[in-house]
Amino acid sequence: MKIEIDAAACVGAGQCVLTAEDLFDQDDDGIVLLLNAEPDESRYAAARRSAALCPARAITIHE
């Protein structure tokens, strides 16, 4: 799995951080920061959930 983010689309909702704080963080403007682009299999479900819940659809999962 590879996680891709689109910072230009991000609206800073923080949904991803609340879902998987080991994979995502926010900068001072609230924009998404990717902490781990290639997570372990144990975190695949959390990564998928983060992408699905992003209101701006700024997270893409490549599997």
Partner 1 sequence: MELKSHSDVLIIGASTAGCATAESLRHEGFTGSITVLGNETSAPYNRPPLSKHVLLGEWESEKADIFADGAAERAGIDLHTDVTAHALNTAERSVSTNRGDISYGTLVIATGARARQLPASVDPDHVALTLRTREDSMLLRERLENSRSVVVIGSGVLGSEIAAAARKKGCAVTIVGRSGALTLGSVRDLLTQRLERLHAQNDVELRLAEGVASITHDGTTAHVTLTSGEQLDADTVVAAVGAIPNVEWLESSGLTTSPALNCDSHGQCAENIYAVGDVAAWHDSRTGRWLPDEHQLTALQHGQAVARHIATGEKAEPPVPFFWSELYGVRFQAYGRFPAEAELVTTHGDRESGDFVALSMLDGLPHGVVASNMSRYFRQARPAVDATLSGTPAPATTTTPSTAPPGGQS
Distance CA 24, CA 44 (A): 13
Of residues 14 through 53, those in contact with partner 1 by CB under 8 A are 14-15, 17-18, 26, 28-31, 48, 52-53
Q: Does 55 bind partner 1 (CB under 8 A)?
A: yes
| Beta pairing partners, 26 | 32
Amino acid residing at 39: P
Distance CA 15, CA 18 (A): 5
- Which of 22, 36, 38, 57 forms a contact with partner 1 (CB under 8 A)? 57
Residues that bind partner 1 (CB under 8 A): 9, 11-15, 17-18, 26, 28-31, 48, 52-53, 55-57, 60
